[in-house]
Amino acid sequence: MVDVSGKIPYLPERIRGLQRIALNLWWRWNRRARSMLRAIDPVLWSATRHNPVAMLRRVSPGRLAHCASDSEFLAMYDRTIAEFEAALSRTDTWFETTYADADPKRPVAYFCAEFGLHNSIPIYSGGLGVLAGDHCKAASDLGVPLVGVGLLYSKGYFDQKLNLEGWQENSDEVFNPEIMPLVRLTAPGGDLALTSLVTARRPVHIGAWRLQAGRVNLYLLDTNLAENHEEDRQLTYQLYGGGKEHRLKQEWILGVGGVRVLRALGIEPAAWHANEGHASFMMVERLREHLEAGETLEEARHAVRARSIFTTHTPVPAGHDMFSPDDIDAVCSDYWAKGPLDRETFFWLGSHPELDAGRFHMTAAAIRLAARVNGVSKRHQQVTQGLWTSLWPGRDPASLPIGGVTNGVHLPSWMAHRYMELLEGPFGEVWENKHRDPEAWDAALDLDDAEVWRIHLELKKALLKFCREQARVRWIELWKEAAHLVGAGTLLSPEPLTIGFARRFATYKRAHLLFHDEERLRRLLTDPRRPVQLVFSGKAHPADDDAKRVLQHVWRLTRDSRFGGRIAFVEDYELHVAHRLIQGVDVWLNLPRVPMEASGTSGMKAALNCVPQISTLDGWWAEGFNGENGWAIPLSEGTDDEVDAQDHDALFTILERDVVPMYYERDDEAMPRRWICMMKHAMRAAGAHFTTERMVREYAEQCYVPALSGKVEGDDPPPV
């Protein structure tokens, strides 16, 4: 069914296993595998941004022949192959030993509109996708039987380039499946179409690609097939591109098409997880299946609920997808024309008793069809309960059956090699799967100060070098103009306290707070004895002009000589850039307007690398801040403008009074002891509580295992 022989045309027999390594993203989170791949050709490794398929297609046969006869390389190779085989075939994983009766052939199907697994596969836009990617990797480590379902956006998200006025221009991403670990699946007769559905009265054929992340298979749907109408071929071109109707069609393909593709592949999930409301139609399609099998609506709904899990990520009503009756009629009407699910029931599923009545709310539909619903932090759980109270009229919000599973990040993907090596001291040589005991992380506090500081300074230098190299490449290939170089980080130096601020440029994330008072900012940055640097990165959504204006403002400051070259903007924020930034800055800054940040995860990635955070008490920080691992901007009250003014003042007071003095306080050995203590506390808290290991175990215990058995105790569905 699967032919991969063309991906990597030539490999010497002795190291043919590199093919399997390159085609499974497992290598991404095994540091010995990474070292082995880098050793093949360090220059190409860096030039391809750590893409083994691209590297192996370009590396010279002479170099490969050398590797195949070099005993040092072969030792690394053999060990990697052995670890890889063991990782894929072992039967003593956490899940298998804890839940020995679970049927491994009936997996959890995890649906998401985006997956961020590696920068070479640009089918994600930000936090949601990176979280989904980390979820799959952790599920693989833990042995949780899980398959992912998403869309293959064959033109990606977009590449960010700022013009000479600092305005974000978007260009399609370079997308070449040949150099990605993607494998196209075919139907038994060799057909690319695995299934079909009807949207807007036209049949749309759907194909799929498989992407492997350790033990987890991801199935990515694709409508770009010759038998489809030209318009329908474009449905899976771009993530979050196009208008409302286009988006509705994409979600229809993800949900309805996703279920049908799994059926066509013979995969029979026993539990179904919709990660965000984009995937709600997956539950609607299963409801239709049950009705078609002759069940009553009541029976069918109960059966779907018992096996469904829904995670919501959006704390503001306007952020939830909803569609007008006209759009729904245009895209979905064939569904009820054929029965058995009638139009009235369909609309009832997505109805909201108060908000924009008449529209189809994806979140409401998911809440009606999943017995297990959760937000992504403790604070977000409360916000979500408040948001959906009207589905359970007269109930106290805190009593609603909506849980909270706080997000995490995949430790082996985000922690720098060097810290992982340092932790071999307390944890032993192979410790990636042994760090699940929160108390084990007290060991972080005993790490040697000088070692921690040395590693940190190396990572900081690596960040500055990365900024310069990225500026050089973009100057040659994209900018042509020298003017861009000033603001791209080429003037940054290794000594100053360096603050990182990188995330989507959504206005609620309030990058603008930093330049509310430019004179105060100038004084902070250009203090001759205790200078401070700011490094920004992030994309604005292509349709969000307000966010683009904030970005443009940042861009202007980067080349305003009053700030002395101490502000930089790194273009095209993606996973590779994110790794450099979270590992290389001194402090991570996060300024969401409370309670708009459901969780936030970049601060967790930074903390795993001993980088403390300053943040408002929102999302994960409301439970993660412990007084020793960073700083909290206290909650403030009033209108948006008043809150902004108070938070701005609190932020600068914290910087001037606490952060800068502590960073520059050095002892006889030129070591900032109090600062290093804070760094170690940051790592300890993140390692103990904010990893996807912890998160996926919670999903397994609270949601997957009960759903896999099809049982639901005390089901409490919305009455309206």
Ligand X SMILES: *Cc1c(COP(=O)(O)O)cnc(C)c1O
Binding site for ligand X (CB under 6 A): 126-127, 130, 503, 573-575, 578, 600-602, 605
Chain centroid to CA 378: 19
Residue 116 or residue 181: which is nearer to ligand X going by CB? 116
Residue 148 or residue 600: which is nearer to ligand X going by CB? 600
Beta carbon of residue 601, minimum distance to ligand X (angstroms, whole number): 4
Give the CA distances from residue 503 to residues 31, 156, 510, 553, in Å, rounded to whole numbers and listed in that order: 26, 18, 10, 16
Beta carbon of residue 605, minimum distance to ligand X (angstroms, whole number): 6
Give the CA distances from residue 557 to residues 257, 270, 537, 538, in Å, rounded to whole numbers and listed in that order: 47, 53, 14, 15
Residue 376 or residue 532: which is nearer to ligand X going by CB? 376
Q: For residue 499, what are the β-bridge partners?
A: 534, 587
Residue 620 sits at φ, ψ, to 5 deg, of -65, -25
Helices and strands (DSSP H and E) totals, the chain? 30, 20
Residue 460 or residue 503: which is nearer to ligand X going by CB? 503
Residue 272 or residue 620: which is nearer to ligand X going by CB? 620
> What is the C-alpha separation between 487 and 476, in angstroms, rounded?
16
Contact 247, 83 (CB under 8 A): no
> What is the C-alpha separation between 233 and 231, in angstroms, rounded?
5
> What is the C-alpha separation between 174 and 474, in angstroms, rounded?
15
Q: Closest by alpha carbon to 366, among 111, 666, 664?
A: 111
Beta carbon of residue 501, minimum distance to ligand X (angstroms, whole number): 10
Beta carbon of residue 609, minimum distance to ligand X (angstroms, whole number): 13
Beta carbon of residue 689, minimum distance to ligand X (angstroms, whole number): 16
Residue 222 or residue 693: which is nearer to ligand X going by CB? 693
Beta carbon of residue 84, minimum distance to ligand X (angstroms, whole number): 25
Beta carbon of residue 537, minimum distance to ligand X (angstroms, whole number): 9
Residue 563 or residue 573: which is nearer to ligand X going by CB? 573
Q: Give the contacts of 236 (CB within 8 A, at least 6 positions apart).
A: 151, 152, 153, 154, 221, 222, 223, 224, 250, 253
Which H or E run includes 425?
helix 417-427
Residue 385 or residue 599: which is nearer to ligand X going by CB? 599
Q: For residue 108, what are the β-bridge partners?
A: 146, 271
> What is the C-alpha separation between 633 and 646, in angstroms, rounded?
9
Contact 452, 435 (CB under 8 A): no
Q: Closest by alpha carbon to 254, among 112, 127, 126?
A: 112
Residue 51 or residue 308: which is nearer to ligand X going by CB? 51
Residue 50 or residue 301: which is nearer to ligand X going by CB? 50
Beta carbon of residue 691, minimum distance to ligand X (angstroms, whole number): 13
31, 37, 41, 44: CA torsion to nearest 10? -90
- Cis amide prior to 528 (ω within 30 degrees): no
Beta carbon of residue 625, minimum distance to ligand X (angstroms, whole number): 15
Tokens of 197: 């559905």
Q: Work out the widest C-alpha separation in the chain, in whole angstroms.
A: 80
Residue 180 or residue 575: which is nearer to ligand X going by CB? 575
Which H or E run includes 146?
strand 146-151
Contact 367, 716 (CB under 8 A): no
Extended beta strands in 223-314, E state: 271-275, 308-311
Residue 437 sits at φ, ψ, to 5 deg, of -85, 115
Residue 160 or residue 601: which is nearer to ligand X going by CB? 601
Beta carbon of residue 175, minimum distance to ligand X (angstroms, whole number): 17
Is 293 exposed, middle or buried, given 0-12, 13-18 or 19+ CB atoms closer than 10 A?
exposed
Beta carbon of residue 592, minimum distance to ligand X (angstroms, whole number): 8
Beta carbon of residue 126, minimum distance to ligand X (angstroms, whole number): 4
Contact 487, 568 (CB under 8 A): yes
Tokens of 36: 């082995």
Residue 209 sits at φ, ψ, to 5 deg, of -120, 150
Beta carbon of residue 376, minimum distance to ligand X (angstroms, whole number): 10
> What is the C-alpha separation between 540 and 169, in angstroms, rounded?
10
Residue 25 or residue 206: which is nearer to ligand X going by CB? 25
Residue 258 or residue 408: which is nearer to ligand X going by CB? 408
> What is the C-alpha separation between 129 and 117, in angstroms, rounded?
8
Beta carbon of residue 442, minimum distance to ligand X (angstroms, whole number): 26
